Amino acid sequence: MSGEQPEYALIESAARNLLSLITATAGQEQVQGQSQSRGLTLNPPGSQNLGLRQPSIHQEMTRSFPSMFRKERTSGKRRFPTPVIKAVVAPTKHTSLQFYLLPAPTDRTPQGSQELKLLMAGLGKRHISLPDNSNHVEITASLAVEYPKLENLMGGWLLYKASGGSGQRKLTVIPPESEGYSAKLLKSSSNNGRHMLFIVPLQDEIDISPLPFDAPEFSKMPKSQCKTCGETLPLQALALHVESCSKPDSDQEAEEESSDCLEASTQIVWDPAIGEGVNRFLFSMTTQKLKCSFHLNFGNAHITRIFDGEPDHLVPSSSAHLVDSDLFLMAGRMIGHCFLHGGPPLSGLSPAVVHVISGGSAETAVVQISDCPDFDLRQKIMLLEGESELTPDEKESINDLCFSWDLPPVNNANRRWLYERLLHHAVIGRTMRQIKQLRKGLKETMLWPLLRQRPDVLPVIFPPEKNDVLTPVCVINSISWPSMVENDDEDDNDDECSLEDKSRIAGYLRQFIESASSHELKALVKFWVGWEVPTTSLKLEVTNCNLPRASTCFETLRLPSRYCNYPAFQKELLACIGTVDTGFGLV
């Protein structure tokens, strides 16, 4: 025990010394704090201010007892790490302002008729987005990008704003600040971008001649292609371009040749001076040419059909040359004239096309797969019928067709719907321009009011092919057969034939009519009177001529009396009636 007393005494002495040191240091810091709050500095007498800071109580205790007073642990897992806060830079705000560059010094806003002209010169209205902290230099650079002509402008410019009202208004200057214009000033002057800011030159004038269409001023404008010359232009420039644009010489020659071929037959009016037969022939040629091929010099297409497809499923041709030449407008005139003058109708049209021509809605038209004249399209569309699985090649061909017509790709959910949309577009969608031209031609012949008020006449104007059949009974009942009475002046007339010859040739003709098809009967009647509709009195004469002849104006058919057997008569009559598409039935 006596050996341990000195150790306890030493520890007790050290603790007392440490406590006294802490008490003295705390009192000294308290006095220094009060002195510093009063603006005083306490230094012991004779001491020098060496710029050294006295250690605090916490630092002394940490040095003496590191395990108890250390703030951070050097070992173990830091369970709650201090988050690192990064400084986020606020994005710069932008304001969209409307600017209008004027070509010369003025105190009035421009007229509305000058906007397009100034736009073509690289001036006019622009929308420019400026940062809210933009200064005068940055604003000038942004304006020079939108208006390249400002870079070469001499004499300076100022911004103006217009007073309220409509029409031409008075301009008021926007005075710049000491450092020029700023985005904040322009924003307040334009009511946060709602009002136009006019850029007015002070001394110089800007050239307003039209710029080329590939100028940088037009780089951001949407473009479209001119139908006449095929040049790609900005949309704003098309309004001025179409007024001066002319078709190429080759296109004009092709159009003149095509119009010369059909103008005589499309704008004809019944003229009594040229004879009944000639009138009937002209009108017959109009409607029949609509259903057969004819030659047009289009450069890359020689054989053209106005209507394509099967009988009773004819639809207008999708040829762009025919639409651009307004041939369907001429076809509408033909149909109207033939109906008004009792001529042959245009038969075999698709019921869906007739429904739309007569004013019905295109969406309500009932389209059949037989109405699609393009067999390649028909085969692709027919792949969507049924529920059989499509092969990858079939699906790819169908999707290519869908994408070309702005339709979604095929899947199991839209298969039936896609079949109907593809078929409808192939028959009606691609021919709407042609149908509108046909309808316009019917309106010009005053047939449109009849179609609107009397829908029951549609089967008469556009009959089915099966109803447009010429029967032998109809033709035989319309013939005025030659007289079988002996003529006293027979010896004086060299062209007059004997009763035996008349009877034999008339029998041959009756036999031909009874055995002929509807197409051959129509050709015979057209050879006889000029069109396919038989008149009430078809005259027949047997003469001493070489080949069958017809006087269409007098509705008379003249047959030679030299035939001794029916095969020879049939062969030569078929050869003659086959010339109705090239002349008036004369050989």
Do the Cβ atoms of 555 and 276 come closer than 8 Å? yes
Bridge partners of 196? Answer: 98
Taken in order 196, 199, 202, 205, is the CA torsion positive or negative?
negative
578 Cβ partners below 8 Å, 6+ apart? 523
Read off φ and ψ for residue 93, nearest 5 degrees: -80, 150
- Tokens 């420019």 label which residue? 128
Catalytic, 245? Answer: no
The β-bridge relationship of strands 196-201 and 94-101 is parallel
424 Cβ partners below 8 Å, 6+ apart? 365, 367
Using CB atoms within 10 A of its CB, is residue 332 exposed (0-12), middle (13-18) or buried (19+)? buried
Strands across the sheet with 538-543, in order?
479-480, 538-543, 556-560, 549-551
Give the count of alpha carbons within 13 A of 511, CB side only.
Answer: 12
Q: Please give the helix or strand (H or E) that residue 156 lies within, else none.
A: none
Could you give the CA distance from residue 304 to residue 432 in angstroms, rounded to a whole number? 19
Could you give the CA distance from residue 466 to residue 52 in angstroms, rounded to a whole number? 121
Task: Identify the active-site residue in 226, 229, 545, 553.
Answer: 553
Kindly report the number of other CB atoms within 10 A of residue 285's CB atom: 19
Catalytic residues: 553
